[in-house]
Chain A
Amino acid sequence: MSGRDPRGDLARNLYVVQLRIRRFEETVARLFAQGRLPGFVHLSIGQEAVAAGACAALREDDVITSTHRGHGHCIAKGGDLGRMMAELFGYRDGYCAGLGGSMHIADLERGVLGANGIVGAGIPIAAGAAYAFQVRGLDRVALAFFGDGAANEGAFHEGLNLAALWRLPVVYVCEDNGYAELTATAVHTAGPGVAARAAAYGMPAAEVDGTDALAVHDVVARAVERCRSGEGPTLVVARAPRWHGHFEGDPQRYRSRAELEQVRREDPVALLSRRLLAERWADPTWLEAMAIEIEAEVTAAVAFAEGSAPLDPEAMLRVAGVEERP
């Protein structure tokens, strides 16, 4: 199915990307629970529509900065599932040769400047990429994903001020999932919310339902258009609850059972599948075929990762550029 209706094409693409993120991360959760993945893993299940919608509004040569909860962003920007999975295993065929892990996956060819283990760090970095595009006379755009918790970092205020001052081609996308780590918004954010802070920098802000990928796409597409026409940055706040804890293994004692049940009723993947059927953009056969195809992609990614191995320590020193003179 394609070609009849551009809106339908977009919706189907967004669905495929969301489903790819969902199945990838469900598999990661399972592998982690089995003790097969080292370190920390932060999952974005429930927030897939933000990554899918925002990245669909970008060109291939646009760039993003991502967060510790960044698998979805990388997948939505076209990242390779096998190399991502190999990185989560800590293996040499991973995006970072196993030296970075989940929180540092980057794909520079696809404009993924990196996930980040430091909350808010991508905000000034995205401004810098946008500044480079401005100096070089390119019409490329930078987009920074960050969470509601990052809006209380100095990096947020310093980055937004610079971006607005210099009218940089950057889109700031705040994924508001209601929690900064284990702490609810009411405890960590003063004032009427993150979006309201844009006004202080003379920057337009838009709030959008972060479980609606089409709505996210439309809002970000307008922000990207503003960037390309030299009008400067926009702050987009997309509310989308996360289903899992801050990290895998977080028992989420700070959330009620009722809340956890409620957020699963706001399933962005299910919402879009219903919309696809209602608008006749897809039929059940297509949905079934996509489910099978993506299941196979994720299975292949795991197999690719399992076929790899850790880098040897000597090679690690070479990557680090260690030059110990005698």
Chain B
Amino acid sequence: MTELRYWQAINQALAEEMEHDPLVVLVGEDVGAPGGAFGATRGLRERFGPERVRDTPISELGIVGLGVGAALAGLRPVIEVMFNDFLTLALDQLANQAAKLRFMTGGRAQVPLVVRTLVGAGKGTGPQHGQSLEAWLGHVPGLSVAMPATPADAYGLLRVAIRHDDPVVVFESLRQWNVRGEVTPGELPGLGRAAVRRRGGDVTLVSLGGALSRAMRACELAAAAGVDVELIDLRWLWPLDWACVESSLRKTGRLVVVHDAVGFLGPGAELAARAAERGVLTAPVVRVVPPRTPVPFSPTLEAAYFIGAERIAAACQEAVRNG
């Protein structure tokens, strides 16, 4: 075990996978000589050469399309799109090409493409750098969506994504960027497996990506108030580990969801619908999610927009009071 920061764990995963497989390449804006806008690709160009670590123009559609073609022709490209807000520029290649090629060719084509992108939520990045668009991608059949929240997962989920034969979009968290944590070299967690971060019997709290730190604090606050929370870090929006969530709900009967995407049609809506379909709830679902507005810039407004640990803890207590 090594202690690494979140961004160092990404760097470590990329280095190991490039070492392991010469077909893995890294392509994106500022990934080469600058070592990434926030340092995640530092040293990789020097180590693996400019052929395999390529700086690109600011052409999100072009570079994701390039990744699709490179994947079809035998590489395992990792494309970096600096913020997930900029995926909007590349959506044709993600949603119409990468996601559908296997299906459209009757199962013959394979697109082992990884798109790494950053969620700027909670770091004062404002309306066009602070969104969480994972539900957009999760809605497209053919795409997998990973949302690592810890250094161990920043490392492990990225390695799983690179070894997967179909396209994966990895939403990394700027909020978690400098968080330190233990990383076990060589560890490969299962594709689409959630992680239970805390065992508890009163209420199931499901957290996505960078919401995890607040969710963990909320567990402590709730415990102090006598509510025992089971915390599930979903880790993947797709494949969705519903089995993990349902088995927890069968124990607690209460569901609280926290994420940084707006609530309307967000990941929490899918979880709530499934819980209702399964008839496993004894209390109304509580979604602790941002309103349907763009992300505000002002630190005060932003703090209110991305709901804090106190309100998450209160939501858990509310779920217990209501049934």
In angstroms, how far is the closest chain A Cβ from the Cβ of B50? 10
The winner among B23, B54, B68, B166 for most chain A CB atoms within 10 A is B68
Which among B95-103, B154-162, B251-259, B307-315 touches the partner chain?
A: B95-103
Looking at the complex, which one of B63, B71, B103, B166 makes contact with A319 (CB distance below 8 Å)? B103
B25 at the interface (CB under 8 A from A): yes
Contact at B61–A124, with CB atoms within 8 Å? yes
Look across to chain A and name the residue whose beta carbon is closest to the beta carbon of B244. A325
Contact at A155–B65, with CB atoms within 8 Å? yes
Looking at the complex, which one of B63, B104, B107, B141 makes contact with A162 (CB distance below 8 Å)? B63
Count the B residues whose beta carbon is within 8 Å of the partner chain — how many?
A: 46
- Bound: A95/B106 CA distance, A: 7
Residue-wise interface mask of B (239-268) relative to A, using a CB-CB cutoff of 8 A (1 in contact, 0 not): 111110010000000000000000000000
Residue-wise interface mask of B (63-88) relative to A, using a CB-CB cutoff of 8 A (1 in contact, 0 not): 11111111111110100000000000
Contacts of B25 in A (CB 8 A): 135
B125 at the interface (CB under 8 A from A): no
- State the A residues within 8 Å of B (CB): 63, 65, 94-100, 104, 106, 108, 113-114, 116-118, 121, 123-136, 142, 154-155, 158-159, 161-162, 165-166, 318-323, 325-326
Contacts of B56 in A (CB 8 A): 162
Look across to chain A and name the residue whose beta carbon is closest to the beta carbon of B142. A320
Contact at A131–B66, with CB atoms within 8 Å? yes
Looking at the complex, which one of A99, A133, A142 makes contact with B104 (CB distance below 8 Å)? A99
The winner among A96, A158, A162 for most chain B CB atoms within 10 A is A158
Contact at B92–A118, with CB atoms within 8 Å? yes
Contacts of A155 in B (CB 8 A): 61-62, 65, 92
Contact at A320–B103, with CB atoms within 8 Å? yes
Contact at A125–B68, with CB atoms within 8 Å? yes
Contact at A133–B73, with CB atoms within 8 Å? yes
Contact at B106–A132, with CB atoms within 8 Å? no
- Bound: A166/B69 CA distance, A: 15
The winner among A95, A104, A131, A161 for most chain B CB atoms within 10 A is A131
Contact at B69–A325, with CB atoms within 8 Å? no
- Bound: A320/B104 CA distance, A: 9
B108 at the interface (CB under 8 A from A): yes
In angstroms, how far is the closest chain A Cβ from the Cβ of B108? 6
Looking at the complex, which one of B66, B71, B96, B106 makes contact with A127 (CB distance below 8 Å)? B66
Provide a sorted-by-A list of 24 A–B residue pairs whose CB atoms are within 8 angstroms: A96-B104, A96-B106, A97-B107, A106-B105, A106-B108, A116-B97, A121-B93, A124-B69, A124-B93, A125-B72, A128-B66, A132-B73, A154-B61, A155-B61, A158-B61, A158-B62, A158-B63, A159-B66, A161-B57, A162-B66, A166-B54, A325-B239, A325-B240, A326-B246
B52 at the interface (CB under 8 A from A): yes
Residue-wise interface mask of B (142-153) relative to A, using a CB-CB cutoff of 8 A (1 in contact, 0 not): 100000000000
B280 at the interface (CB under 8 A from A): no
In angstroms, how far is the closest chain A Cβ from the Cβ of B152? 23
A131 and B241 in contact, given A100-B104, A161-B59, A320-B141 (Cβ under 8 angstroms): no
